[in-house]
Chains A and B, each alone.
Chain A
Amino acid sequence: MDPKMDSGFLKPGETLDDNYDVSRALLPEEVVGIMDQLLCYEVAWHHGYPLSQTLFTSIYIDRLLWPPSDCLSDAQFYRGIRPMGLHPLLDVLRSYCIALIKCCDLTIEKVTSRDYYEEEDFSTHTYNRSLLHTVPHDKVLELLRSSIEWLSNSRNRRPSEVHRTSRELEEALINRLTFRERMLLAVAPEQEILDLAAVWPAVSAALPPLEATHSLGRPVPDSFSEKIQRRLASTVPPRPTVDFTFAAAYTKLVQLCKDCEDALRVLEITTESPQEHLSFIWMFSSRKPAPLAYARSCLSSVFLARTTEGFEQLIQTDLSEFVFPADPVLDPVNFTLEAAQSSFAPQDKRLAMATIINEFTGRAAPQYFDMWNSLCQNRCRTRRMICNNIPFIDDLQFATEQLDDELHDLTHTMRYPLSTWVYHMKLRMVEWVVQLGFEQEVYLPDELAGMYWWLSQVASLRASVIEQVYNHLSRRHEILSNGGEIEKAETIRTTQAFVKALMYEATGTGALADAMYALYMRLHYLQLVPILSRPYSESSLRYELRMKPFLRLNPPQIPTFEAFEEATRMPSGSQDDVFAKYDVEGSVKEAKEAWAALKRLGARAAKSEVVQAAWEKNLASTIQSCIACGIAASTISNIPKDAGTGRVKEMFQVEIPGEGKRYHDWWVVPKIKRN
Chain B
Amino acid sequence: MTESNSPATDNLRYLQYDISKEEEYLPSIRALIGKDLSEPYSIYVYRYFLNQWGDLCFMTLDPSSVLIGVIVSKLEPHRSGTFRGYIAMLAVVDKYRGQGIATKLVRMAIDAMKERNADEIVLETETDNAASLKLYERLGFLRSKKLHRYYLNGNTAYRLILYLKPGTGLKRPERDEAGMAAVTDEMYG
Residues of A bordering B, CB below 8 Å: 2, 4-5, 47-49, 117, 119-121, 237, 239, 378-381, 383-385, 387-388, 390-391, 433, 440-444, 447, 532-537, 540-542, 544-549, 551-552
| B71 adjacent to chain A (CB < 8 Å) | no
Residue of B nearest to A390 (CB): B188
Bitwise interface map of B from 132 to 157 toward A, beta carbon under 8 Å scored 1, else 0: 00000111111111111110101010
Known: A4-B39, A387-B189, A533-B138. A541 touches B166 (CB 8 A): yes
Minimum distance in angstroms from A595 CB to a CB of chain B: 27
Residue of B nearest to A240 (CB): B38
Known: A387-B189, A545-B163. A380 touches B144 (CB 8 A): no
Partner of B142, one of A237, A378, A383, A546: A546
Complex interface: chain B residues within 8 A of A383 (CB): 145-146, 189
Residue of A nearest to B139 (CB): A536
| B176 adjacent to chain A (CB < 8 Å) | no
| B81 adjacent to chain A (CB < 8 Å) | no
Minimum distance in angstroms from A424 CB to a CB of chain B: 21
Complex interface: chain A residues within 8 A of B187 (CB): 388
Bitwise interface map of B from 16 to 59 toward A, beta carbon under 8 Å scored 1, else 0: 00000000000000000010000110100000000000000000
Partner of B166, one of A388, A433, A532, A544: A544
Residue of B nearest to A436 (CB): B146
Residue of A nearest to B161 (CB): A545
Complex interface: chain A residues within 8 A of B183 (CB): 388
Complex interface: chain A residues within 8 A of B158 (CB): 442
Known: A387-B188, A441-B143. A536 touches B107 (CB 8 A): yes
Bitwise interface map of B from 149 to 188 toward A, beta carbon under 8 Å scored 1, else 0: 1101010101001111111111000000000000101011
Known: A47-B154, A387-B189, A545-B169. A537 touches B147 (CB 8 A): no
B:106-145 near A, CB below 8 Å: 107, 110, 127, 137-145
The count of residues in chain B whose C-beta lies closer than 8 Å to any C-beta of chain A is: 40
- Is B188's CB under 8 angstroms from A548's CB? yes
Partner of B148, one of A380, A390, A540: A380
A117 to B150, CA, bound (A): 11
A440 to B141, CA, bound (A): 17
Known: A387-B188, A545-B163, A549-B189. A442 touches B145 (CB 8 A): yes
- Give 8 nearest A-B pairs by CB, closest first: A537-B140, A534-B140, A387-B189, A541-B163, A380-B148, A536-B140, A548-B169, A387-B188
A383 to B144, CA, bound (A): 11
Complex interface: chain B residues within 8 A of A544 (CB): 163, 166-170
Complex interface: chain A residues within 8 A of B40 (CB): 2, 4-5
A384 to B186, CA, bound (A): 9
Contact sample, A vs B, 6 pairs, CB 8 Å cutoff: A48-B149, A239-B152, A388-B189, A441-B146, A542-B140, A551-B170
